[in-house]
């Protein structure tokens, strides 16, 4: 989650909305929007896609086990890695 690293008045935000949004998105930092010198809202970048580590661990724990097929799967991966060439392009 991003932390609030600066503040901007509502008037300043209204005058510079596009640039301010671009800045927040690029920096990944949130801004506190003030009105009349008091906090009114925050402007934050969108959440990053993907899973948190805890969510990944939970997801992996619910996946089925390969069981007896794990050795065969490992061999298939090894074979695929050793055959990692692409066919010749007819346009070359």
Closest of 2, 90, 91, 92 to residue 46, by C-alpha? 2
Q: What is the mean pLDDT of residues 64-92?
A: 82
pLDDT by residue (tens digit) across 27-46?
Answer: 889 999 999 999 999 999 98
Q: What is the mean pLDDT of residues 46-65?
A: 86
9 burial via Cβ count (<10 Å: 0-12, 13-18, 19+): middle
Helical H segments across the chain, by residue range? 10-15, 17-27, 53-61, 70-82
Is pTM, for the whole model, over 0.85?
no
């Amino acid at each position: 989650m991003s932390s609030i690293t600066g503040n901007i008045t509502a008037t300043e935000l209204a005058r510079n909305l596009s640039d301010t949004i671009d800045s927040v998105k690029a920096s990944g930092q949130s801004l506190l929007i003030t009105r009349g010198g008091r906090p009114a809202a925050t402007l934050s970048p969108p959440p990053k896609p993907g899973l948190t580590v805890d969510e990944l661990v939970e997801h992996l724990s619910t996946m089925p086990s390969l069981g007896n097929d794990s050795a065969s799967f490992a061999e298939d991966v090894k074979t695929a890695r050793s055959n990692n060439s692409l066919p010749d392009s007819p346009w070359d």
